[in-house]
Chains A and B, each alone.
Chain A
């Protein structure tokens, strides 16, 4: 079904989670849920995902970059 990138090995789930939960374009900040004029439903997965496989995913939800904090 899918077109895999040019690797022989199947893609590891944890590598995908690093990228799809922490990377990717984020379109807006907080999740707003009302009925009428909600523009976007943005699910903050890192919040809901914490109970899931906590041992692995807790690593993912920590700020990864040792960059100087932007002030």
Chain B
């Protein structure tokens, strides 16, 4: 603790005895102890789970520099998530914060908690008793979503006269692929309907591409988050996997349960008068 610290916020939660006890066991993104910050005044119905992190790493400039380092990013993301997951694990109603939300000191964090109390409470109200589940849909390797089918652009016809043959092969392949894709798209749509019926809400994330998207098999064509009642998690998982069973060309992964990261996003209300 030689240099000045900033206050890193992990989550908003209701400070139950269990959560308060669990926090003392946790270490955060900088290996620091995690503790609760409650509003200065009034009832202690809400608290931030926070840690003191070195400004040398978490002020804007050093943080930006660190983010060029994927290992550093991964370690930070996993540590942040571990704190949130532990709080969820002890049964607390938790609103996870986005990565790297940093206040200058606990006084300003406390003030932020005070001014947003009603907003946080209404979000918590909505999310309490629910978890987030991820549903990732993959089209198997021999089926390419139309927008991702760029192989043709890279293939070179070999020699003179090959142009026409190439085009015909390409067209046949395209037709086969289109049919297979239609089947997969229909199955995916049906599966999404099934999932919606078993869930309270849905958020669609971008399909996962690139080097971090995992080894496959297949192309990720759906990457959704569902808000599911905690007592319906098994029913959701079973229903999804059953709906996906035996569908050729479609693979499904269910992830979670997660803290409701994807459902903590409503814009702050513009001082609406309560009805």
Contacts and interface: CB of A to CB of B under 8 A. Distances in A.
Contact of B80 (A1, A20, A27): A20
B209 interface: yes
B97 A11 contact: no
B193 to A, nearest CB: 16
B98 to A, nearest CB: 4
27 contacts: A1-B27, A1-B82, A2-B82, A2-B85, A4-B85, A5-B257, A7-B255, A11-B255, A13-B74, A14-B212, A14-B213, A19-B261, A23-B263, A24-B97, A25-B12, A26-B97, A39-B103, A39-B108, A43-B60, A43-B100, A45-B67, A45-B98, A52-B70, A55-B210, A56-B209, A64-B204, A65-B203
Contacts, number: 180
Interface string B235-264: 000000000000000000001111001111
A31 B61 CA distance: 12
B99 A24 contact: yes
B163 interface: no
A38 B104 CA distance: 7
A4 B258 CA distance: 10
Given A7-B255, A23-B96, A43-B60, A12 B116 contact: no
A71 interface: no
B78 interface: yes
Contact of A7 (B101, B104, B256): B256
B214 A40 contact: no
Given A16-B77, A48-B63, 10 more contacts: A11-B78, A13-B212, A14-B212, A15-B255, A18-B208, A24-B96, A27-B97, A39-B108, A40-B102, A51-B68
Given A3-B86, A20-B80, A45-B67, A66 B256 contact: no
B211 A16 contact: no
Nearest to B207: A59
B95 interface: yes
Interface of B: 6, 9, 12, 27, 59-60, 63-64, 67-70, 73-74, 77-83, 85-86, 88-89, 95-104, 108, 111-112, 116, 120, 123, 132, 134, 203-214, 223, 225, 255-258, 261-265
Contact of A20 (B63, B112, B261): B261
Contact of A40 (B70, B108, B262): B108
Nearest to A55: B210
A56 B213 contact: yes
A48 B261 contact: no
B258 to A, nearest CB: 6
Contacts of A38: 104, 108
B53 to A, nearest CB: 11
